Amino acid sequence: MKTLLKNLTIIPMTEDGLSFTGDILIEGRDIAAIGPDLSSDAVDVVKDCAGRIAMPGFVNGHTHLSMTLMRNYKDTCSNLQEWLGQIFPIEDRMDDDDIYWGSMLGLSELIRSGCTSFADMYFHQWMTARACKEAGVRGFLSLTLFGDEEETKDRLSVRRMDEELDGDLLRRDLAVHAIYTCSDGTYRYTADWAREHGAIVNTHLSETRKEMDDCLKDNGCLPAFHLDRLGFFDVPCYIAHGVWLQDDEVALLRDKGVALVHNPSSNCKLASGIAPVSRFRKAGLTVGLGTDGASSNNNLSMVKEMRLAAMISTVSTLDVSALRPYDVMKMATIDSAKALHADDLVGSLEVGKRADITIIDPRKANMTPLNDIFSAIVFSMDEENIDSVYVNGRCLMEERRLLTIDEAEVRRQALKRWDRLRKED
């Protein structure tokens, strides 16, 4: 199957500030060619996309997809710890079907906001895998590990995810929740397991000041050094949050090849703080972008996440040049892909990479005039400007109509599942 997208403004995210007019040829799941006036010989479908913009689909570097069911629930907690105390008991009651419908609901929102792949940290992840395959969205799916080594062994003995893997659309990662919910043994065991099975690990790190302070008290070192001593950075790894990372931790992460995923909405909303990502980037750390779960955001839109990342970076540094709109777009695409060790597959529009493409229609009042195309995407764009989305060469949304998900049915089922979970709360 060959699809030719014609006459686009293309932002490949391969070179600072680059955009040009041209066509994109999709062959099977890959980008086969990019350039001006590509031939339509032997092409199955030709689409004229004049007036529209193509960019790599957003890579949501950190979320908890099925938490979408808990959107705007228990929304008056004063900090992360109090909120987790409210949320954990509900999560303990979620079953396979809750996860499946919560995932489908989340996937609907991801596609509608131009996101083509995401890193998930949750439970029953084989059900999220099934939802991803049906919806056609790329998932880096982590089973979340909690507690001590014995619990971790138990959780890792469940092999249902193995059956759900499907080419490179899905990848099975491992997430250790956090140093305040998991034992040292869990971090060590998970790193060993990952090394043995060739898996990639991730964790929440240095999200709150309390986490940092407690770690200093309990372990005599900063959180990143603690994890390093446990060998967690000796396997491919990425971390989420990093709000309170100190300069020597940033240098450690950079030297170990561990990238950070920034979650500004969640960090603002839970009063965790503002991660100084422009300083991190200057120090050579790769910084991706993620939404975190819809329960602490309260949505899954990388469109909103980019805007907030730009706004709080500028106002917290009082330096407009610290993080430019193009930098934020990098964080949302290629740098998230690098963080997830997936930039060989996605994050930019390049021949040979997967055809994960988001097409923007800027021909609405809110993006007129365009002027600076990168500012327009980061500051002016609404989700409604996301016109079409491709993953692995498959069109998942066309002119805002979802092609792989029955939205009404997903909404009905998700509300039904949530109704039951809430009643039991």
- Is residue 424 exposed (0-12), middle (13-18) or buried (19+ Cβ within 10 Å)? exposed
The nearer residue to its own copies, 221 or 311, going by C-beta atoms, is 311
Distance CA 421, CA 179 (A): 28
63 binds its own copies (CB under 8 A): no
DSSP assignment of 139-156 equals: EEEEEEE-BSHHHHHHHH
The nearer residue to its own copies, 57 or 347, going by C-beta atoms, is 57
418 binds its own copies (CB under 8 A): yes
Distance CA 175, CA 344 (A): 22
397 binds its own copies (CB under 8 A): no
Instruction: State which amino acid sits at residue 71.
Output: R
420 binds its own copies (CB under 8 A): no
Give the residue, chosen from 325, 339, 347, 397, that forms a contact with its own copies under the rule CB under 8 A: 325
The neighbouring-strand residues paired with 34 are 24
Distance CA 222, CA 206 (A): 9
283 binds its own copies (CB under 8 A): no
- Could you say which residues in the range 231-270 bind its own copies, by CB under 8 A? 264-265, 267-270
Output the six-digit token pair for 389. 């989305």
What is the tally of helices (H) and strands (E) in the chain? 15, 17
Q: Smallest distance from the beta carbon of 219 to its own copies, in angstroms?
A: 24
320 binds its own copies (CB under 8 A): yes
Give the residue, chosen from 380, 388, 392, 404, that forms a contact with its own copies under the rule CB under 8 A: 380
- Is residue 317 exposed (0-12), middle (13-18) or buried (19+ Cβ within 10 Å)? middle
- Is residue 369 exposed (0-12), middle (13-18) or buried (19+ Cβ within 10 Å)? exposed
321 binds its own copies (CB under 8 A): yes
Give the residue, chosen from 41, 220, 371, 399, that forms a contact with its own copies under the rule CB under 8 A: 371
Give the residue, chosen from 66, 286, 298, 404, that forms a contact with its own copies under the rule CB under 8 A: 298
Distance CA 294, CA 68 (A): 5
The nearer residue to its own copies, 3 or 272, going by C-beta atoms, is 272
**Tokens 């609901």, residue?**
105
Neighbours of 134 (CB within 10 A): 14
Give me the 102-121 binding string for its own copies, x by CB under 8 A, dash otherwise.
Answer: ---xx-xx--xx--------
Give the residue, chosen from 149, 314, 341, 403, that forms a contact with its own copies under the rule CB under 8 A: 314
Give me the 161-180 binding string for its own copies, x by CB under 8 A, dash otherwise.
Answer: --------------------
Give the residue, chosen from 49, 54, 55, 69, that forms a contact with its own copies under the rule CB under 8 A: 69
369 binds its own copies (CB under 8 A): yes
Q: Give how many residues touch its own copies by CB under 8 A.
A: 71
The nearer residue to its own copies, 1 or 271, going by C-beta atoms, is 271
Coil vs helix vs strand at 389: strand
395 binds its own copies (CB under 8 A): no
274 binds its own copies (CB under 8 A): yes
